[in-house]
Amino acid sequence: MNIASFLALVALPAFAQHPQPFAKADANAGRALVERDCVECHARRFADASTIYTRADRRVQSPSQLLAQVQWCNTELKSGYFPEDEENVAAFLNERYYKFK
């Protein structure tokens, strides 16, 4: 075994210990909430509601900021989401638009 192979084997467990953001969340459940609650509000600001997630000057730059934004929207809109609902929404948005790892 050469040194590169050895280092790859040693590093593999380190990568496995870093789960994807929102790994325990249900993105499909989040999708339903986004479609029900988010699209209408975002469409008032943008003709295409998804533009808020894909614009060049978007505020959200990390998984923690994404979850914080979902939490803020939940509070402002009085959606009544539980913390797991907020994570589900963040998981869907990350999977669909943000692609944070």
Domain ranges of the chain: 20-98
Domain boundaries 20-98, corresponding CATH code: 1.10.760
> Residue range 29-35: average pLDDT?
97
Question: CA nearest 24: which of 71, 77, 63?
Answer: 63
pLDDT at 22 over 60: yes
Token digits of residue 48: 């295409």
- At 55-75, the pLDDT tens digits run 889 899 999 999 999 999 999
What's the pLDDT at 89? 98
pLDDT at 37 over 60: yes
pLDDT at 53 over 80: yes
pLDDT at 5 over 90: no
Res. 3 pLDDT band, cuts 50 70 90? low
Q: Are 69 and 76 in contact (CB under 8 A)?
A: no
Q: Please tell me whether the overall predicted TM-score, pTM, comes out greater than 0.85 for this model.
A: no
Q: Which helix (H) or strand (E) holds 92?
A: helix 83-93
